[in-house]
Amino acid sequence: MLLFLHYKKFYRASIDSLVNAILSCTSTPSCNMPAALFCGNFYQNEFKVKLSDTLKVHLWLRRIHLDSVLKAKLSEKGGATQVDITIRPEMLDLICLGVYFLFCLVTPIVLFIKEKNPAPMIVASIIFLLPFLMGYIPYRMESQKLLDEVEGIFEKAASKEGMEKTMAANTFFTDIILLAKNTVNKELKLYTDKCYKVEVIVDNESCYRIIIEWERCMGELLVERPDFAPYRYLSLQVVATDTADFSFVYCWYDSEGDSLEVIEEKIIEGIEAGFNY
């Protein structure tokens, strides 16, 4: 159908590699593809994104609109990934649109049969279809633009550059986890005469979380790949526990561009702040 846009392609990369590469790509399509791929810490191989804020089919002199959706499915076959994406109006809107088309088709035919004159049929067709065409043309252009943008994301992710970015990001993330562990252990050894308690909550290749309890405050160091968070990979918070009011003794989030040296320095600052509070 004219209201459907479809994109289907095979990429010679596993789903995991392709998804991680998409996250590593800097440009993000209007439908927020990277965020839609994930539910918590797990990617979804099939999902739907509402595009009501991005694409609207305006009909009947722009008084009402039909919302659109993007449906995507990623399936792995023999180490390759098949991407299947469709942009279309919502199902209920699609049914209403079908009824409208049926009305536009039947009415001119009835007029032609009744009047035995093609003029009323032509005029009726123009009157009914013109409002639709006024909405359809920009809808089609915006839909194609969005689909091209999504395709560009997958092409970039599947390219050598995208895979190299993914490998670099994975290596850097692993380096941060190792750095966090080593820095915490090294700093705590400097305060053997101090009273504190350490509890490692999570320690694996995808997450490192440690809680440090001092006499008057408590700190949490977390290294992970968050979906939505004010930090890139690392969060360090030290909170006072000797007051009724919530207050930070120290708080730092890493961001794009922060080097391992900067991260190490901030971890040391946070631990020192906890011991000196």
Tell me the C-alpha distance between 30 and 28, whole Å.
7
In the predicted model, is pLDDT for residue 80 greater than 60? yes
Dump pLDDT digits (tens) for 97-116: 677 777 777 777 776 677 66
Higher pLDDT, 110 or 162: 110
In the predicted model, is pLDDT for residue 206 greater than 50? yes
Determine the straight-line distance between the first and last CA of the chain, rounded to whole angstroms.
67
Tell me the C-alpha distance between 223 and 234, whole Å.
4
Dump pLDDT digits (tens) for 180-205: 999 999 998 888 888 789 999 999 88
> What is the pTM assigned to this prediction?
0.52
Domain boundaries, the chain: 5-158, 175-276
How large a percentage of the chain has pLDDT more than 70?
79
Q: Which of 203, 244, 251 is nearest to 223 (CA)?
A: 203
The structure tokens listed for 39 are 């539910």
